[in-house]
Amino acid sequence: MSVSLDLTGRHALVCGASRGIGHAAALAIGSLGARVTLLARSPNLLEETAAALSSDGVDADFVVADLDARDDLMGRVDAVLEERGPIHILVNNTGGPPSGRLLDASTDDLVVAFGRHVLAAHLLVQRVLPGMAEAGYGRIVNIVSISVREPIPNLGVSNTIRAAMAGWAKTLSRELPPGVTINNVLPGYTATSRLDELKHAISERTGQTAAEVEAGWTAHVPEGRIADPAELGAVIAFLVSPAASFVRGVSLPVDGGRLFCI
Ligand code: NAD
């Protein structure tokens, strides 16, 4: 059996693809030969990413949609299925919830985050699954967080929602048909606008400079640095490839060794 990363003939829908980890995932998946449909809210950034992919010879398009407006989202995904055919690869990814203590979060904060992460992913899986099952090939990757293993202080809503997402995905890994896998990627510190926002929020709260906050983070990472989003993209691309056919229901930290737990 040969090891294949070739995604020729496969169609990927990558959510939250306008920047950060989703953007890097779209580039990496495109580089393996898949057709890529990008999804996010900002048409300008999506257009730029689609143009970058196209200039590398990738069949790329985008759909402007908000994971918080799920009826509209489903209509737009139906249009993608109609125009660009079945989706074989789904990357569930979106912005992380704002920082703060869980005790200070309102129930609305929790409901919004649950909707954006779990409900949107659930609806998307239900919609794309028939095409995956028919093709005998499906790859679902959810971008979650290392907080699935170890809650992160002051990310109360995020910690709660990530655990829900992990339970949802593990359950589905037992229900999806053979050939259709679902896995979670757990990013550690990754250089994106999300991390910048968190860094400045901590800096304001603690009085540390942004550089001190970052040094405090990297001190706990055996690789001694923050990840480039492309390093996450590479792992996501592997998980959606034929080579990862027997990887199912895992939560894979991509954190430079930061987590202590096994
Ligand atoms: P990011 O904020 O840089 O990018 C998020 C992407 O999701 C963007 O394309 C944004 O436009 C899109 N998005 C946000 N809300 C949306 C909505 N309602 N509808 C559609 N698209 C929406 O984030 P990132 O750093 O790339 O992180 C991706 C995920 O990984 C997040 O859930 C984040 O919390 C998690 N994560 C990131 C890090 C890190 O260090 N960057 C660490 C752990 C977990």
Q: How far apart are CA 252 and CA 188, in angstroms?
A: 11
Q: How far apart are CA 124 and CA 77, in angstroms?
A: 8
Phi first, then psi: give them for residue 126, nearest 5 degrees: -60, -35
Q: What pLDDT, in 10s, does the model give residues 100-153? A: 999 999 999 999 999 999 999 999 999 999 999 999 999 999 999 999 999 999
Q: Report the SS3 class of residue 3.
A: coil
Where does CATH 3.40.50.720 sit in the chain? 11-188+229-253
Confidence label for 262 from pLDDT (cuts 50, 70 and 90): confident
The predicted model scores a pTM of 0.98
If you measure from the C-alpha of residue 97 to the centroid of ligand 1, how many angstroms do you get, rounded to a whole number? 9
If you measure from the C-alpha of residue 162 to the centroid of ligand 1, how many angstroms do you get, rounded to a whole number? 13
* CB 185, CB 232: distance < 8 Å: yes
Ligand 1 pocket, residue 40 CB under 6 Å: yes
Structural fold of domain 11-188+229-253: Rossmann fold (3.40.50)
If you measure from the C-alpha of residue 56 to the centroid of ligand 1, how many angstroms do you get, rounded to a whole number? 24
